[in-house]
Structure 1
Amino acid sequence: MAGLFFAFDVSVMPGLAAGDERVYVTAMRAFNAAIDGSPLFGTIFVLALLASVASAAVEYRGGRRATALWVGAAAVAYLAVLVITFTVNIPLNNELAGTDGSAIVERFKTTWVTTNIIRTVLCTAALAALARALVLHGRATR
């Protein structure tokens, strides 16, 4: 997810913002439809949190408390991503789909883009926490 959000931050959204409004709206609607229409994407998007929570529980029960804390930190960061996605980004996507588009483009260029950067940072932090947990797990299980 960090990579997907980062790609939007550095290429997709700036590229769309450089074009005309009609192209911006059409492209965002197409991106959203492709993601919404992908059961694989939705499954992976949610399973990432569940896998992190399950891994934290396994590490904790195995007595690897430090590892569990790092995995738990990753889960909390990713949970924040889901909250932002479901409370900000998806409602904006839905509003874009249900309007002529022009009324919401500026909110996309500000609110949607800003929250996407926050999601990128949170996913990157979660990835770093999982990497640290992996190192600790490897040391503890040698």
Structure 2
Amino acid sequence: MRIAVLLAATITTGMMAGLFYAYSISVMPALRDADAAVFTEVMQRINRAITNGWFFLCFAGALVFSATATVLYAISGPAEVLVPTAVGLVLYAGQLALTAGLHIPLNNALDAAGRDDPEAARRAFEPRWVPWNHVRTLLCLGAFVALCWALTRV
């Protein structure tokens, strides 16, 4: 059971790292040269489309599985598995805090801006969202690597 939960934590965390990485290397660079109206509309569409069950399964699942694996290994597992599992949990929780504290409010503000002033909406969104997406990508990547390391220790 512990290994299955740890594997689920690793897979869902890796999927989230890949999603954020895809934004960093393709989505946001592709939109960089788009005019403000196109940029705003595309990001609004993406933000609406991504709120689906498959996304939430991985987004929340990575936390739930990581926390469960950490507890299971804390109760009856070797420290050489517990430590990287706990590190993965902490790094992923950091990503969640960043997402909840910065990305979701920026997404909501962009959505609320509508099409009234796409230039202002973009100026308020892009310079903060993009670099912090790189940070949450690295947090997820670090969590994924830690969980992979934990799997090599079981």
Q: TM-score, normalised by structure 2?
A: 0.84
Question: 1:48, 1:78 → 2: CA distance?
Answer: 8
Residue number in structure 2 paired with 1:28: 43
Runs of 4 or more, structure 1, over 6 Å off, are none
Residue number in structure 2 paired with 1:140: none
Query: What's the secondary structure of 2:64's corresponding residue?
Result: helix
> When the two structures are aligned, how many residues end up with a matched partner?
136
Q: Which residue identity does 1:53 align to in structure 2?
A: A
The C-alpha deviation readout for 1:3-41, integer Å capped at 9, x for no partner, is: 1101100111011011111110010000000012x0221
**In the alignment, does 2:119 pair up with 1:105?**
no
Task: Say which is worse superposed, 3-12 or 99-108, in terms of deviation.
Answer: 99-108
- Counterpart selection for 1:79 from 90, 93, 105: 93
**In the alignment, does 2:105 pair up with 1:91?**
yes
Question: 1:60, 1:86 → 2: CA distance?
Answer: 27
- Counterpart selection for 1:67 from 78, 81, 86: 81
Query: What's the secondary structure of 1:117's corresponding residue?
Result: helix
Residue number in structure 1 paired with 2:64: 50
Question: 2:106, 2:66 → 1: CA distance?
Answer: 27
Residue number in structure 2 paired with 1:119: 136
Q: Percent identity?
A: 35
Residue number in structure 2 paired with 1:9: 24
Q: What CA RMSD, in Å, does the superposition of the two structures yield over aligned residues?
A: 1.1
Question: 1:41, 1:6 → 2: CA distance?
Answer: 15
Q: TM-score, normalised by structure 1?
A: 0.91
